[in-house]
Chain A
Amino acid sequence: MAVQTFLFASLIIFSSIESNHGATEVSLFTNLENLLEVTAKPTRVGVVWEAGKDIVRITWMLKSSAKVNDDAAFKTVEVKLCYAPISQVDRPWRKTHNELSRDRSCPHKIVSKPYDKIPQSLNWTIDRETPTGTYFIRAYGTDVNGYEVAYGQSSDAEKTTNLFSVEGISGRHTSLDIASICFSVFSFGSLLVFLVKEKRKAKLQQRK
């Protein structure tokens, strides 16, 4: 048993040494420049949007304040749905991290498009699997190797303005509810049937 544990452990150790080869420098959020202008406009105003139903019009383009060759490195633009601070409270699995590879605040990918100098837009139906929460939209400009070089977001730097709330699907369904009730009744019922049967058998035996 101790031998098995040792072998298992050494397997893990060697496989992890393998995966550590080729580690390059990490990209930090603070190193990125805010070069993109991102806007997110809902088609329905004043209501909480529903996942899978409501549509958001997202546009992104290079900021007018950007210098001439700032966008030379851009290859693709990745647009992501990010959690606003209020949806991160007491939820360490959504924590913002400066190291982009460890950042968990923008887990939902909206679209990834090749960069174009002209402004681009998208009518995005909020994904059905989006959880309930408050969000904003961020776009990362990535280079040839896939590393982020610049970003832009629909909210301000403190992530307090232009936030929108999404209501996720409940995941419940009438058919599930009915199945649940049926199985429960079956469970209670079969227990009762057994108890009654055994009591009857014991009474018969006693009479003998």
Chain B
Amino acid sequence: MASNEEGSIGTSLHGVTAREQVFSFSVDSSSQTLQSDDPTAKFTLPVDSEHRAKVFKPLSFAKPHMRAFHLGWISFFTCFISTFAAAPLVPIIRDNLDLTKTDVGNAGVASVSGAIFSRLAMGAVCDLLGARYGTAFSLMLTAPTVFSMSFVTGPVGYLAVRFMIGFCLATFVSCQYWTSVMFNGKIIGLVNGCAGGWGDMGGGVTQLLMPMVFQVIRLAGATPFMAWRIAFFIPGFLQVVVGVLVLTLGQDLPDGNLSTLQKSGQVSKDKFSKVFWFAVKNYRTWILFVLYGFSMGIELTINNVISGYFFDRFNLKLQTAGIVAASFGMANFFARPFGGYASDLAARLFGMRGRLWILWIFQTVGALFCIWLGRASSLPIAILAMMLFSVGTQAACGALFGVAPFVSRRSLGLISGLTGAGGNFGSGLTQLLFFSTSRFSTADGLSLMGAMAVLCTVPVAFIHFPQWGSMFLRPSSDGERSKEEYYYSSEWTEEEKRQGLHEGSIKFAENSRSERSRKVALADFPTPETRTPTHV
């Protein structure tokens, strides 16, 4: 007989809403004690079972979530300023160092190539040492290379220095990793979009900042050929300052710093070889690699060539060309977060399939406008095409990082690294093909690059998640494979599962149920009427 006493059989409502924590495998004792203290009370923002924030408050600096967000995007922003600092000053630099178009183009390729390797390395560093150290290393070890522009005398030195400065773009990976461990999957698209977008803005700000700094230094009496070298001290100094801030104010994970957590046993140390293998084995990683190469990749290329393009083709002054070029990068402020937000919105309605469609739409539309930009022969049309192109491509970048966190839980850092490296690879490739020789005019190069991007965005149709589906296919109907737990725990061997090392992935799988479309999600929960109490 059903009793009204608390705790008697039939009165418990545990499991009805299906939001309670239920683990398929046993949990160990340490996490039990954690839950009974209700440690979520010590966080300013509401958190989920992994202590990741469920709410995004951009104007807050609260420890640890919002602080990590702000330190992350500012580090990334500073590195973008340094990497593309040379671009608006190229008309001066090319005269000082007697560079040819090939020299300038090759240096542009070099500036983004270094990061292919550093972004890969950064993925591993984040997984193994934490995002804080990753960011600080990147900032403070590349600051000397920025300062060394004072020593450059010819094309070889110029190329070498730009190559070395480019290594700091690895902060992209540490920034995205940091936000992915600090924020819940439901809002990750928006958060990653904001962090990535506001960081990418550095590429636009530098086009304004460097000519301005150059002008001020010239007014102070320096010759142009010395002024541009002095101007480089500004981004270098910024890097050092932000690096110090990251080390003093930042925290790796919601519960503390990685080394502390590893020592106390709350976070298990993973093996690099395993992390690497599971990232590389997953075909989705490589599709994202190509996709990002033709959204972020062409964005990086544009950062290098657009100022010179407007200076040379439309006869604008250095500062005016800088302003126009800056508008491209500045659009990142709202365009990339918008992409992330649209991805989150699509996920709410259509699940992961919505995210994939949004990604394809934004990237293709952006690339089409890039083709138009190359064709435009009047300044106003060129600016209009450029703005629309920037919004489309940058929104695609934001949308892509709404998908990336779900590809793997175990190798999250390395996948961010590989995808990020893909961006740089795409940029190096497009600069090499279209902007380093006198074969194509810059205008033709832009159109051809846009056409190539349209083609290389098609692979997104092949990304398929058994539990959520793909652009054209429904999720698997197999009972086991259609569960998120199956997908995420398949990254761990049986031996590791027995040791309970995969618990983080299980928790993540639970929280990622949000990626099912609304229809499927509702159908999955047992309706209360069917759960008859055992004693009536």
Interface residues of A (CB under 8 A from B): 1, 5, 8-9, 12-13, 16, 89-93, 102, 128-129, 131-133, 168-173, 176-177, 179-181, 183-184, 186-188, 190-191, 194, 198, 202, 205-206
Contacts and interface: CB of A to CB of B under 8 A. Distances in A.
B105 to A, nearest CB: 10
B383 A12 contact: yes
Contacts of A206: 263
Interface stretch (B10-18, B43-51, B221-229, B515-523): B221-229
Contact of B223 (A89, A93, A171, A177): A171
Given A171-B229, A180-B144, 11 more contacts: A9-B383, A93-B311, A93-B312, A129-B223, A176-B226, A179-B233, A180-B150, A184-B147, A191-B243, A198-B259, A205-B260
6 contacts: A1-B334, A5-B384, A91-B101, A129-B224, A181-B147, A183-B144
A111 B144 CA distance: 43
Contacts of A168: 95-96, 98, 225
A129 B387 CA distance: 35
A183 B102 contact: no
A65 to B, nearest CB: 36
Given A131-B98, A170-B153, A12 B384 contact: yes
Interface in B225-249: 225-226, 228-230, 233, 236-237, 239-240, 243-244, 247-248
B101 A180 contact: no
B426 to A, nearest CB: 25
Interface string B301-337: 0000000100110010000000000000000001000
B91 A186 contact: no
Given A179-B233, A183-B147, A190 B223 contact: no
A13 B383 CA distance: 10
- For chain B, the bracket of interface size reads 35 or more
Contacts of A186: 240
- The majority secondary structure among interface residues of chain B is helix
B94 A187 contact: no
Most chain A beta carbons < 10 A, residue from B94, B100, B150: B150
A93 B151 contact: no
B260 A202 contact: yes
Contacts of A181: 147
A188 B380 contact: no
Nearest to B232: A180
A16 B378 contact: yes
B387 to A, nearest CB: 5
A190 B379 CA distance: 47
Nearest to A5: B387
B223 A128 contact: yes
A90 B100 CA distance: 5
B136 interface: yes
Contacts of A132: 95, 98
Interface in B131-151: 136-137, 140-141, 143-144, 147-148, 150-151
Contact of A187 (B91, B96, B229, B243): B243
B352 to A, nearest CB: 26
B93 to A, nearest CB: 9
B137 to A, nearest CB: 7
A92 B308 CA distance: 11
Contacts of B338: 1
Contacts of B334: 1
Interface in B332-359: 334, 338
B140 A89 contact: no
Contacts, number: 132
Most chain A beta carbons < 10 A, residue from B94, B95, B379, B438: B95
Contacts of B384: 5, 9, 12
Contacts of A93: 91, 94, 308, 311-312
B373 interface: no
A190 B228 CA distance: 27
B98 A12 contact: no
A110 B225 CA distance: 19
B102 A169 contact: no
A9 B380 CA distance: 7
Contact of A191 (B102, B136, B230, B248): B136
A206 B308 CA distance: 56
Contacts of B91: 93
A164 to B, nearest CB: 16
Contact of A133 (B98, B137, B228, B391): B98
A193 to B, nearest CB: 10
B148 A173 contact: no
B151 A172 contact: yes
B328 to A, nearest CB: 12
Interface in B506-522: none
A169 B98 CA distance: 11
A5 B144 CA distance: 39
A131 B243 contact: no
B144 to A, nearest CB: 3
Nearest to A10: B380
A174 B140 CA distance: 24
Given A180-B150, A190-B140, A190-B244, A170 B225 contact: yes
A93 B380 CA distance: 22
B380 A13 contact: yes
A201 to B, nearest CB: 9
A179 B244 CA distance: 20
Nearest to B378: A16
B101 A177 contact: no
Given A9-B387, A16-B380, A183 B141 contact: no
A180 B153 contact: no
B522 to A, nearest CB: 33
B399 interface: no
Contacts of B312: 92-93
A171 B147 contact: no
A131 B98 CA distance: 7
B194 interface: no
Return the 5 tightest CB-CB contacts between A and B, nearest first: A171-B225, A184-B144, A131-B95, A90-B100, A12-B380
Contact of B379 (A12, A169, A172, A202): A12
B147 A91 contact: no
A69 B251 CA distance: 84
A89 B499 CA distance: 67
A133 B95 CA distance: 9
B241 to A, nearest CB: 10
B219 to A, nearest CB: 15
A177 B380 contact: no
